Amino acid sequence: MTTDYLITIGLLVGLFSIPAMLAAYVDDRFPRGPMAAFVLSAAVIAIALMLNPMRYSVAELPNVVVRVIADILN
């Protein structure tokens, strides 16, 4: 179950870093923070896949996220 949390955290951080990178590009400044967050999210996702490589597929990722959210709410 911990790899489920890692993959969900990685996806959320990566998702939130994309608009920040676009905002930095529009403001004509280098996106240091958003780029670091994106690299961190990629590293966390890679660690989760290395810990449990046979468990995740692209089609199963929405189920993983919903499972983590349900576990947090319960």
10-36 pLDDT, tens digit per residue, is: 999 999 999 999 999 999 999 999 999
What mean pLDDT is reported for the chain? 92
The pTM score is 0.85
Q: How many domains does the chain have?
A: 1
Q: What is the pLDDT of residue 74?
A: 87
Give yes or no for residue 1 having a pLDDT over 90.
Answer: no
Q: What is the pLDDT of residue 23?
A: 94
52: left (phi over 0), alpha (psi -120 to 50) or beta: beta
Domain span at 61: 2-73
Question: In whole angstroms, what is the distance from residue 32 CA to residue 29 CA?
Answer: 9
Give yes or no for residue 66 having a pLDDT over 80.
Answer: yes
